[in-house]
Structure 1
Amino acid sequence: MILIVTEENRSLHERELTAMHRQRKAVFVDRLQWPLAAPGGLEIDAYDRPDSIYLLSEEPRTGMILGSARLLPTVQRHLMSDLFADLCEVSVPRGPTIWEASRFCVNPSLTMRQDRHDQLWQIIAGILEVGLLFGLDQVTFVAARALLPLTLDAGWDVRVLGRSRPDGDDEITAVAAEITPDGLKTVRDRHGIPGPVTRFRMMPDRAVA
Structure 2
Amino acid sequence: MIISIDGINAHHFQNILSQTYKLRARVFQDRLGWDVNVEDGMETDMFDTLNPTTLVSIDASGNVVGSMRILQTTGPNMLADVFYAILQGEPAPRSPLIWEATRLCVDTDRLSATGSPRAQNSISYVTSEIMVAACEYAMEAGVTDAVAVIDPLMNRVLKRSGNAPYDYLGKPTPMGKVTAMAGLLDCNKERVDRLRDRSGMYDDVFLNEKDAIARFGDSAAQSLLSAAPVMSYLSEQLHAASTMDELQATLKLIATMDD
| Alignment TM-score, normalising by the size of structure 1 | 0.88
Q: Which residue of 1 aligns with 2:174?
A: 166
Which entry has the higher C-alpha Rg, 1 or 2?
2
- 1:34 equivalenced with 2:68 (yes/no): no
2:133 partner SS = helix
Q: Can you give the 5+ residue segments of structure 2 that lack an aligned partner in the other structure? A: 214-224, 240-259
Q: Can you give the 5+ residue segments of structure 1 that lack an aligned partner in the other structure? A: none
User: In the alignment, is the contact (CA less than 8 A) between 1:140 and 1:174 conserved in 2?
Assistant: yes
Q: Which residue of 1 aligns with 2:76?
A: 77
Aligned-pair identity in percent equals 24
- 1:137 equivalenced with 2:144 (yes/no): yes
User: In the alignment, is the contact (CA less than 8 A) between 2:85 and 2:173 conserved in 1?
Assistant: no
CA distance in structure 2 between the aligned counterparts of 1:94 and 1:200, rounded to whole angstroms: 30
Shift of 1:111: 5.9
Shift of 1:37: 2.4
Which segment is superposed worse, 190-199 or 94-103?
190-199
Q: Which residue of 2 aligns with 1:2?
A: 2
Query: Which letter does structure 1 place at the counterpart of 2:184?
Result: A
- 1:43 equivalenced with 2:37 (yes/no): no
Query: Which letter does structure 2 place at the counterpart of 1:166?
Result: P
Q: Which residue of 1 aligns with 2:249?
A: none
Q: Deviations over 1:43-86 (max 9, x none)?
A: 111010242100000112x1111101100111110100002223
Q: Deviations over 1:22-45 (max 9, x none)?
A: 111122223333332222221111
CA distance in structure 2 between the aligned counterparts of 1:181 and 1:93, rounded to whole angstroms: 22
Which segment is superposed worse, 170-179 or 32-41?
32-41
CA distance in structure 2 between the aligned counterparts of 1:173 and 1:37, rounded to whole angstroms: 21
Query: Which letter does structure 2 place at the counterpart of 1:178?
Result: D
User: In the alignment, is the contact (CA less than 8 A) between 1:128 and 1:179 conserved in 2?
Assistant: yes
Determine which structure has greater relative contact order: mean sequence separation of CA pairs < 8 Å that are 6+ residues apart, divided by chain length: 1
Q: Which residue of 2 aligns with 1:196?
A: 204
Shift of 1:8: 1.4
Q: Residues 48-197 of structure 1 correspond to what in structure 2 (within 5 A)?
A: 48-60=48-60, 62-88=61-87, 90-110=90-110, 112=112, 114=117, 115-156=122-163, 158-197=166-205
Q: Deviations over 1:179-203 (max 9, x none)?
A: 1112111111122111321234147
2:192 partner SS = helix
2:40 partner SS = helix
CA distance in structure 1 between the aligned counterparts of 2:160 and 2:168, rounded to whole angstroms: 12
Query: Which letter does structure 2 place at the counterpart of 1:134?
Result: A
Structure 1 residues 186 and 33, CA gap change in structure 2 (3 angstroms): closer
CA distance in structure 1 between the aligned counterparts of 2:158 and 2:167, rounded to whole angstroms: 10
CA RMSD of aligned residues (A): 2.3
User: In the alignment, is the contact (CA less than 8 A) between 1:4 and 1:53 conserved in 2?
Assistant: yes
Q: Deviations over 1:119-168 (max 9, x none)?
A: 22111101011111111111111111111122134334632223212233
Which segment is superposed worse, 160-169 or 68-77?
160-169
User: In the alignment, is the contact (CA less than 8 A) between 1:188 and 1:195 conserved in 2?
Assistant: no
2:110 partner SS = coil
- 1:23 equivalenced with 2:30 (yes/no): no
Structure 1 residues 87 and 35, CA gap change in structure 2 (3 angstroms): closer
User: Where does structure 1 differ by over 6 angstroms across 4 or more consecutive aligned residues?
Assistant: none
Q: Which residue of 1 aligns with 2:253?
A: none
Structure 1 residues 54 and 200, CA gap change in structure 2 (3 angstroms): farther
CA distance in structure 1 between the aligned counterparts of 2:200 and 2:68, rounded to whole angstroms: 21
Shift of 1:108: 4.6
The structure whose residues are more often helix, as a share, is 2
